[in-house]
Structure 1
Amino acid sequence: MSVESSYNTSVTITVKGLVQGVGFRPFVYRIAQEYEIKGFVLNTADGVVIEAHGEKSSLFIAALHTHLPERARIDSLSVKPCESENYNSFEIRESTLGEGSGAIPLEAALCPACEAEMDDPSNRRYRYAFINCTDCGPRYTILQTLPYDRVRTSMKHFTMCSECKEEYTDPSSRRYHAEPISCPKCGPQLRFIDNKGDEIAGDPIDLAVEMLRSGKIIALKGLGGFHLMCDATSDAAVSELRLRKHRKAKPLAVMFRSLEQCERYTRINQSEREMIGGAIKPIVIVDALQGTDLSKYIAPGIERLGVFIPYTPLHRLVFEKIDFPLVATSANISDEPIIVRSSEIINRLGNVVDGILDHDRTIVNALDDAVVQFADGHVVMLRMGRGFAPHTVAAEKNGSAEILALGAHQKSAIALGKGDNMVLSGHIGDLGSVEADSYFERTVQTFKRFYECEPQLFVHDLHPQYSTTQFASAQKKEHYGIQHHYAHILACMAEYGLDEKVLGFAYDGTGYGEDGSLWGGEVMIADLSGYQRIGFLKPIALLGGDKAIKEPRRIALSLLFECFSLDEVLNLKSPSVETFLPHEIRTLHHMWVKNINAPLSSSMGRLFDAVSSLGGFIQSLEYEGQGGMIMESFAEDSIHEPFSFDIQNGVINVLPMVKEIIALGTENQTVIASRFLSTLEAIMEHFADMYPELPIVIGGGVFQNRALMSRLYRRFGEGRFYAQQQTPINDGSIALGQLYYAKHNLPHQKDAGSFRGL
């Protein structure tokens, strides 16, 4: 930030960050009045520009950093002297168009002031489903292009009444330039339709509540898409939702009427309480209390629960008329993007829902709910969504090239580099389906439109078959591949602005290695110019290829073949062995010996799966990471002894651990789960002790495990240990890592190819 000289009483100030759609201009106006400043403030596509004239301009500039609106964030503030002008007042001017690189305004949950108005029978917005102000409501989800003004949002279709117009143009009102401003006279309207699209007469909220009370399933239109909702205390309703949606076991999020109701079903700490009840109200993963009336089908086998409370006035109006919690899960198919239009609900989920609570405010940009959890008091971002995305990271390296990073194949997200900003998108979904790939391409077009750019360079994963790699190749422009696990480390470095050499641990389910094999248990010395792979998990054969990812027992059997003869395996007392018939084991052993459909993987995620089988936790998975989540429920912090392992020339051999798990037997599941986490901790400590001078940086889906993360924070402490908190620790931030490398290297290189390490 430039330092203002006390001699400059006339200055031009440029502010970048989250300064649009958050009440920043009225805030500047009030500060200007306080310090007798003349001039103006306006939104531009590049940020907020202020021209200030007055004897107290230095004090005015200092005050801009204090008492910011709750959702505002200043990333940079530059000050330049300007010619003195004889303004009579300080005014808020109309926005200007231009080349953009500013932060996109983000969604905020219903604020206390609007909530109070909703509850006031004398207020003209009493029980109004679309109440909002500059502190709350839709932003990115209704935005068509920057800068953020009503004419560039889907609210342009609603003409303000005289009363709303008066608030909108009054700088002293908290609705001054609240772009989604409306009221029952002039705003969006609710309707309730059946699963064929026919409107049902009556009060839409009463009709929705009636269905929920009768055990039926509805779709409700939120800020960034539809929720599927049903009675969370009804086994019949929840099991019917699972049956219709073909979602056998993956945990379902639960929305509670209030924080107080949530605390009757969960055990939450102060950090979790503040996040659940805060300005965003994301889904927070917390400890579930046992013995409540929640359906046993909400999170089978898991003692954790994804919870949130109403964040839109519409959700709140529904909860005014029911006193039980509701399942509120994204309306989508499998891991595809969330659905934003009632016509899509009818066409794709008409056999899932009984009714649809819809409205006519168009969702321009789909955006799922964010999902977070806490580990030892630190945020772990699991899914980047509403209120957090798109996420802007200031980049010290200001290359002239416009770069688009295309991310990973699963948990897809993109990142755009332009000027001194890196912008990470929200969660898109797992690519590979027509719908997901189409939404991915629409998100690319949205970012290009918002920032008025045409990327000259595309960065992608090394995997040649990924949709993102093929998309990059089809652009007929320069494109460059970055190794997946190196990108994990880079993503964490980008969040913290690290540019030095680090010790990186990238642990996940899978990623394309430089040698063409499946990596995922990687230890690296890395910096912004490259990496050296100094350690990795001894590769495990995945018997049956992709089938092994769904059946951990196959991976466990592969490890047993490493430790014992075929006859010994056949006679073992092991839950992994007992799920197979003898002839099946012989066939799989033949595959293992002959290396038939048995690709090798160094994945730590696959090791989690194997241990979940060996310990008798689960043998076949219904969703990614299920084995690890179940084991997490058994882990106890008081058990610290690791299993045996050895490391030779960087190769991590866990076969001694396998034998010790077999010796313990399934009656010691708490010990197995706890000691396994201690083993991972000890492996990381081994490398950390080898390089005591290096910061420790982690990344990858394995670190979504709260029990493991809590241990790591306690083990390595503050100052040396870096784990992402503002961006996803999983594949959702791969694009940020790809972009961070590209910003520091590729615009200055003539030749593009595939990055091959140090």
Structure 2
Amino acid sequence: MTFTGPMQALFSDLPVIEPRRSSGQAVIIALGGEQRSTLCVLRDGRAELLGEFGNLRDPNSFRLFNEAVNGQICAAAGRPVIIAHDLHPAYLSTQLAGRLAARRCAVQHHHAHVAAVLAEHQCDKRVVGLACDGSGLGNDGAVWGCEVLACHRDRWWRVGHLEYVPLVGGDAAALETWRPAAALLRAAEGPAWRQRFPAFVPDANHDRDNGRRLWPAAPMPHPSEVGPPGAGARSCPDRAALDLFERVVSMGVNAPLTSSLGRVFDGAAYLLGLCALNRVQAEAAIALESAADAHPGAVDPLPCELRSRDGKLLMRVAPAMVALSAGRRRGEPVGLLAARLHETLARLLSDAAVAACRDVGANVVALSGGCFANRRLRERTAALLESAGLRVLLPRLASTGDAGLALGQAYVTWWRVQRSAKRRREVVHVSGGAGSHS
């Protein structure tokens, strides 16, 4: 097939599985996530990653995506098809998978991020994966986003994560950066958090009028479009909004728990006066990285904690948010504070990965997820891991963000198929052996 427009191939024939291991039968079509969507088609041990289709909440993007999926099913020419997809039931890609007449394989979001790196590097050993992004549905129903995973082929388990904070307002917390800022301060300070919260963040580029004009308060319900873009977004909360925030947290209503590193960047950007509204994806994180780059020298980290709780590593970054707020009030340079936060996160992540490697018996760490598009965070974390004697794997061809999810899903699904086939062969062998003695 020849794809045009948004369906042009990013790259093709990416080696994923050694050809001699391929069954040469089932075709795996992985549907990726929902934003920056791609398809990965894995047949005969080789993968083709197709896209990007953009945000599937856009009706035209979803139509092209749907057509491409059906086209790949037809191209399988009668061979068995397995559809790999994300766990999140609200993703349109997941809903599409449920309507297709094919076997399905659900893959956890952050496992797929790490698996994409393993696929690129042909890594067939146990590794520790650092998967850091904005959001992905976790096995416990929380919104994951800063995960320490032990992975081998299709198997994985959670070794550690960023401390949970409430994502007040749900999807609105990814747009209005004051929400994660408030949640992180509250996690550190308790009821006294409002004393640390800025009464106003001067930011001419993110005033409330611009926010209403440019950003929706929630994702567009597809296929219908309701209301003008930008209705309801708030760049700076008033006293009533903060009172409501506190009540919502106390009641636990519309406040799912999250371990998202993306929201940490958002909250920090708000506290430093860099970005009040994410008008485009990752705008706050980009602003924070740019501010840090203005201070290229070595810096000291901010306070943070790495502890063990219930058998898992727990990373606490909320104390760093308190230090950021205090530093800003003292008039410390924004670039210095942003650089110190990056140093804090790099050290916290690398320390967690080193501890995880020791616990699970690994010496390789894979970095993936949209947060590692941040060059400063990626390079500093990798350098710290390498100085600890660990091998670091980074994405090379596939995206470190959600555009790489489909590759990871296809890789995991392939290994599940192989493991299932091996079990069937073992059952046949045992049954045959038992029959010969009857």
TM-score tier by shorter-chain length is 0.7 to 0.9
* Corresponding residue for residue 22 of structure 2: 398
Whether 1:699 aligns to 2:368 is yes
* Corresponding residue for residue 365 of structure 1: 4
Q: Is the 8 A contact 1:561 1:589 kept in 2?
A: no
> Which secondary structure does the structure 2 equivalent of 1:745 belong to?
helix
TM-score by length of structure 1 reads 0.47
Whether 1:622 aligns to 2:275 is no
CA shift for structure 1 position 582: 2.0
Closer, same or farther: CA 393–426 of 1 in aligned 2, 3 Å: farther
Query: Take 1:437 and 1:367, find their aligned partners in 2: how far apart are those partners?
Result: 11
> Which secondary structure does the structure 2 equivalent of 1:619 belong to?
coil
* Corresponding residue for residue 115 of structure 1: none
Whether 1:651 aligns to 2:314 is yes
> Which secondary structure does the structure 2 equivalent of 1:729 belong to?
coil
User: Which structure 2 residues correspond to residues 728-739 of structure 1 after superposition, within 5 A?
Assistant: 728-739=399-410
Q: Which amino acid aligns with 2:318?
A: L
Closer, same or farther: CA 421–660 of 1 in aligned 2, 3 Å: same
* Corresponding residue for residue 724 of structure 1: 395
User: Which structure 2 residues correspond to residues 118-517 of structure 1 after superposition, within 5 A?
Assistant: 144=2, 365-367=4-6, 388-396=10-18, 397-399=21-23, 400-448=25-73, 452=77, 454-517=79-142
Q: Is the 8 A contact 1:490 1:738 kept in 2?
A: yes
* Corresponding residue for residue 714 of structure 1: 383
Q: Which amino acid aligns with 1:588?
A: F
Q: Which amino acid aligns with 2:105?
A: Y
Whether 1:581 aligns to 2:205 is no
Closer, same or farther: CA 637–587 of 1 in aligned 2, 3 Å: same
Closer, same or farther: CA 509–637 of 1 in aligned 2, 3 Å: same
Q: Is the 8 A contact 2:201 2:236 kept in 1?
A: yes
Q: Is the 8 A contact 1:575 1:614 kept in 2?
A: no
Q: Which amino acid aligns with 2:350?
A: E
Whether 1:665 aligns to 2:304 is no
Closer, same or farther: CA 450–367 of 1 in aligned 2, 3 Å: farther
Q: Is the 8 A contact 1:521 1:537 kept in 2?
A: yes
Mean CA deviation greater in 498-507 or 580-589:
580-589
Whether 1:518 aligns to 2:143 is yes
Whether 1:610 aligns to 2:281 is no
> Which secondary structure does the structure 2 equivalent of 1:665 belong to?
helix
Deviations 1:644-665 (A, max 9, x none): 1112221111122122112201
CA shift for structure 1 position 475: 1.6
* Corresponding residue for residue 426 of structure 2: none
TM-score by length of structure 2 reads 0.79
Whether 1:631 aligns to 2:277 is no
Closer, same or farther: CA 467–657 of 1 in aligned 2, 3 Å: same
> Which secondary structure does the structure 1 equivalent of 2:366 belong to?
strand
Query: Take 1:406 and 1:549, find their aligned partners in 2: how far apart are those partners?
Result: 23
CA shift for structure 1 position 532: 1.5
Query: Take 1:739 and 1:698, find their aligned partners in 2: how far apart are those partners?
Result: 18
Q: Is the 8 A contact 1:574 1:614 kept in 2?
A: no
> Which secondary structure does the structure 1 equivalent of 2:157 belong to?
strand
> Which secondary structure does the structure 1 equivalent of 2:11 belong to?
coil
What RMSD, in angstroms, separates the aligned Cα atoms of the two structures?
2.5
CA shift for structure 1 position 573: 4.8
Whether 1:688 aligns to 2:353 is yes
Identity %: 26
Query: Take 1:560 and 1:698, find their aligned partners in 2: how far apart are those partners?
Result: 27
Closer, same or farther: CA 463–750 of 1 in aligned 2, 3 Å: farther
Deviations 1:336-395 (A, max 9, x none): xxxxxxxxxxxxxxxxxxxxxxxxxxxx52247xxxxxxxxxxxxxxxx66x43453242
Closer, same or farther: CA 567–485 of 1 in aligned 2, 3 Å: closer
Q: Is the 8 A contact 1:621 1:627 kept in 2?
A: yes
Query: Of 414, 428, 438, which aligns to 1:743?
Result: 414
Query: Take 2:242 and 2:322, find their aligned partners in 1: how far apart are those partners?
Result: 18
Whether 1:677 aligns to 2:361 is no
* Corresponding residue for residue 528 of structure 1: 153
Query: Take 2:319 and 2:326, find their aligned partners in 1: how far apart are those partners?
Result: 11
> Which secondary structure does the structure 1 equivalent of 2:400 belong to?
coil
> Which secondary structure does the structure 1 equivalent of 2:83 belong to?
strand
* Corresponding residue for residue 551 of structure 1: 176
CA shift for structure 1 position 501: 0.4
Query: Take 1:459 and 1:544, find their aligned partners in 2: how far apart are those partners?
Result: 30
**Residue-pair matches, total:** 373
Closer, same or farther: CA 572–445 of 1 in aligned 2, 3 Å: closer
Query: Take 1:624 and 1:729, find their aligned partners in 2: how far apart are those partners?
Result: 15
Q: Is the 8 A contact 1:413 1:426 kept in 2?
A: yes
CA shift for structure 1 position 639: 3.0
Query: Take 1:580 and 1:720, find their aligned partners in 2: how far apart are those partners?
Result: 45
Deviations 1:55-105 (A, max 9, x none): xxxxxxxxxxxxxxxxxxxxxxxxxxxxxxxxxxxxxxxxxxxxxxxxxxx
> Which secondary structure does the structure 1 equivalent of 2:15 belong to?
strand
Closer, same or farther: CA 411–454 of 1 in aligned 2, 3 Å: farther
Query: Take 2:407 and 2:197, find their aligned partners in 1: how far apart are those partners?
Result: 46
- Kindly name which structure, 1 or 2, has the bigger radius of gyration based on alpha carbons: 1
Query: Take 1:447 and 1:544, find their aligned partners in 2: how far apart are those partners?
Result: 38
Mean CA deviation greater in 655-664 or 556-565:
556-565
More helix by share: 2
CA shift for structure 1 position 750: 7.3
Q: Is the 8 A contact 1:574 1:665 kept in 2?
A: no
Query: Take 2:6 and 2:78, find their aligned partners in 1: how far apart are those partners?
Result: 22
CA shift for structure 1 position 487: 0.5
Specify which structure has the bigger relative contact order, considering alpha-carbon pairs within 8 angstroms and separated by 6 or more residues: 2
Gaps of 5+ in 2: 203-234, 423-438
Gaps of 5+ in 1: 1-142, 145-363, 369-384, 752-758
Mean CA deviation greater in 484-493 or 389-398:
389-398
Closer, same or farther: CA 445–583 of 1 in aligned 2, 3 Å: closer
